[in-house]
Every structure is written in C-alpha cells, then in structure tokens.
Amino acid sequence: MSHRMSASYDRRVEGVRQRRASLASQYGGDTRSSVTDKKVEEEEEEEEKKKEIGDSQFLLLDRFLVGHKIGKGSFSTVYFGRDTKTNARIAIKTEAIVAKDPPQLQADVAVLRTIRDMNGGMMPTGFTRLLASGVDTVYNIRFAVVELLADSLEALVFRQPGCRLTVHTVLMLADQALSRLQVMHDAGFIHRDVKLANFVMGRGPFSPVLYLIDFGLTKTYLDSRGTHIAEYGPDGKPVRGILAGTLSYMSLRAHKVLQQSRRDDVESLAY
C-alpha cells in the first residue's frame, strides 16, 4: 500500500473510531455495541447518498434528478440519478444533439420499446426497463431513463485473478447471453456490437441476471415483407455492409465489411 493510500485509510479509520466513540457516549454504550455500528453504517450510507447527488445539476421532466457521471461511450454518456417520485436509483443515458451524427440513443430507445411491445408490454428478463425518454432543449440532449444496473462482464472479468472465470460461471453466463440474443433475434433485430462491456449484471434481487444493453448499432435483418435481407446480390457476390462493432469481438464477415446477420452476433459472443 502506498504512503498516500495508507494515510487516507488511516484518516478514514480514525474518523470511524471518533464517530463510534461519540455515538457510544450518546447512547450510553461502548464503542463495540450493535447500536453504535448500526448508526455508523447509517451515517456512512447517508454520506454515500450525498456524494451520489452532490454534483446534481438539473431535473429531467421535473422528476428525474441527474447526478454524477458513471460511464461514457462513443456516442453517449450515462449518469447516476434518482426518481424524485419514488426515490429509486436510476441511470440516465444522454446524447448530444448534433445534426451531422445519426441519433444512436433514439435507436436504443426504439429497440427497447419494440422488444417490450412484442412481450405484451412487459420487458423480458435481461432487458432494462425504459422509464422515460425525450429531448431536453435547454441542454440540447436526447435522454433515456432506465433502471440502474451493476457492473459489466468486462469489469467483473478484469477483477478476477488472472482475468479468468470458472468454467461453471462461463457456462451459466453463456446460457443467459444466448437467451438475450434469441429475444433480440425473435424481435427481428441483430445487435452488431456484442461484447463483454455490453453485458451487465442486475442489482439487488436481480443480481444473478445478465442484461444485454446498448442498441445504438442494432438494425433489423428483415425487410418490409418479413423476408431475411439479401446476403448475396444477383451476381452471386456477397452484399457489402458497413464496418459496425468492436474490432476485438467482430465476426469475420464484419471484418470484411459484409452484410451482417444473426450468426455474426453469435460468433461475436463466442469471442
């Protein structure tokens, strides 16, 4: 442990001791009492809440309080937030409105709504609930309010010794991941950016549930008649597509900039 980290740790420990001593004298107990420990935990939780909301700037739809930044991608930024109506923790995804850029967040919202509607108005397991979406003209942003999730598989893997998961864990996660892709494919979509960072674990009672997120590059693989899009032209040559995805996880066809289909999502999942 570095000297700076050690000093910071010592100050925190000393602060906890002082609060315990103060609370112990207040409640007539010793510094090891369960009452004291509970009060310290409550104080620390309250401090954490203040930190989460400390740099909040504004309300969206006069309801959703925007807090600190918790993530950033190529097209959007994700903030911690709170629903002032229910006091629930939420995530707020925002995207700057720039005329030259295609609206990635708009596609994200459209996919979630379609999947929800195809499931009888209920979001299927492993897809985050869409609470609200819209445009804020004051800050010139598009936004989507969704339930707050936990860490991505990418973060979890890199925290493991040797960056490895057990075979049992991999098989359980793969089973869930395939189920998420099946829901997307049944809805007529291909994800086109399947990677560890786009699989996220749930929170609380849903902590074992794997979620699929980020549908900014998603597209339909069916035409207006419900027929699979052409992969080969009249001349028998493969139809060209666009370079979409993350290089480390893209399928061989995607690297060749060919039209992608469901198999490319599954190939990316294998990587």
Which residue numbers are catalytic?
A: 193
Q: Tell me, rounded to whole angstroms, the distance of Cα 42 from its chain centroid.
A: 28
* 263 touches 251 (CB < 8 A): yes
Amino acid at 36: T
- Specify the 3-state DSSP secondary structure of 147: strand
Question: How distant, in Å, are the alpha carbons of 4, 7, 189, 190, 223 from that of 219?
Answer: 49, 52, 6, 6, 11
Cβ proximity of 210 and 199 under 8 Å: yes
Task: Tokens for 146, please give them.
Answer: 């969704």
Question: Taking the alpha carbons of 70, 74, 105, 122 in that order, is the dihedral positive or negative?
Answer: negative
* Closest C-alpha to 23, from 15, 235, 4: 15
Contact 74, 58 (CB under 8 A): no
Phi, psi (5° rounding) for residue 24? -65, -45
The pair of three-digit structure tokens given for residue 124, joined into one six-digit string: 């299927």
